[in-house]
Copies of this chain bind each other. A is one copy, B any other.
Amino acid sequence: MTIIRHELEPILANVVEARPFVFTAGAIADDLSLDVLGQTRQALADLDRYLALCGTDKSRVISAVIWLSDIRLRDAMNTVWLAWVDPAHLPARACIEARMADPLCLVELQIIAAKP
């Protein structure tokens, strides 16, 4: 199997292709001064880019884990999630609370998608 790693950072790859799947790192917003709506939008835009690098897209997302710094942000995060997901192609998902690396980070999302 050929493994293809994209957007390398010192400690991780932001997305890794390993057929038949694509595995992302935990995506967070670039601008952590944003509220949870803005942070979720930016993190999802990163996921869109990661998927595109692998020749796939959000219609092929299979599974997601979402961490929120405060679980009470879930409803707000979900409004952005609902605007993003393809309603005909919803992934399995878990959403829990966790403290993340940067105390300003409100939301982090990690997904598995399929290659076409």
Interface residues of A, Cβ cutoff 8 Å to B: 1, 3, 5, 8-16, 18-21, 23-26, 60, 62-65, 67, 71, 74, 78, 81-82, 85, 89-101, 108, 110, 112, 114-116
Contacts and interface: CB of A to CB of B under 8 A. Distances in A.
A49 to B, nearest CB: 14
A91 B20 CA distance: 16
Given A3-B62, A71-B101, A101-B71, A25 B94 contact: yes
A26 B15 CA distance: 21
B108 A25 contact: no
B18 A62 contact: yes
A93 B20 contact: no
Contacts of A110: 65, 92, 94
Given A16-B63, A62-B3, A26 B114 contact: no
Q: Select the residue from A19, A85, A93, A112 with max chain B CB neighbours within 10 A.
A: A93
